[in-house]
Amino acid sequence: PLLILTFIPLFQYAVYPLIKKCGVRTPLRKLFVGGQLAALAFVVSALVEFQIRARCNMVPMRRHCSLRIYNSMDCDFTFYSSMNNNKEKVLKSFDMLALDNIPINGTQHFSTKFKPSGACPYVLNKSFESTVFVSEGKMTEYSLLTDTKQQAHLRSLGEYQGLMNQNSSVKLQLLYGPDMQGKYIS
């Protein structure tokens, strides 16, 4: 409804006068121009869809790996790791941290350190360290969560299996478990 209320005045005062200035006056010409604009909208939509699908199935290059860390808590964390030269990265609440094309050989482990933001009542430990295991050519997933004592820790979700295959459309991946904070699912 909000878009309709926005687009009606936009078309009345901007698009239709512009089309009239271009010499499109008859209903048949207006219909043709409208069809061309609709076709252009579908082309743009297809290009956006191809970009999304290209990112969705990103497989690491040879001698590289990828790491995904999901934050299941309602507070931000600062992330440090030897895999990204201990550069500080912020993992926002309910967001995902993606580290792509990390150079490795075989299977390696990296040390990580997490610090919760100052206003984080869900986590009692001020920082914690963990180890992540990654394999060459694989995308590994971890989840950041708390236990019953409000201590944050990192839990391995395993290797990424892909959200698509050749015989079906995109699948939906849910992160939920008894030790995760997901109490409400809609």
pLDDT of 182 reads: 45
pLDDT at residue 121 in the model: 80
Per-residue burial over 29-67, b if 16 or more Cβ lie within 10 Å, else e, is eeeeeeeeeeeeeeeeeeeeeeeeeeeeeeebeeebbbb
0.85 cut: is pTM over it? no
Q: Which CATH architecture has domain 64-159?
A: Sandwich (2.60)
What are the boundaries of each domain within the chain?
2-56, 64-159
Radius of gyration, CA atoms only, the chain: 24
The 10s digit of each residue's pLDDT in 106-155 is 899 999 999 988 778 878 888 889 999 998 888 888 988 888 788 888 88
Under DSSP, the state recorded for 163 is: S
Q: What is the pLDDT of residues 79-103, one digit of tens each?
A: 898 887 778 899 998 888 888 888 8
Sheet holding 128-135, edge to edge: 89-91, 77-81, 107-116, 128-135
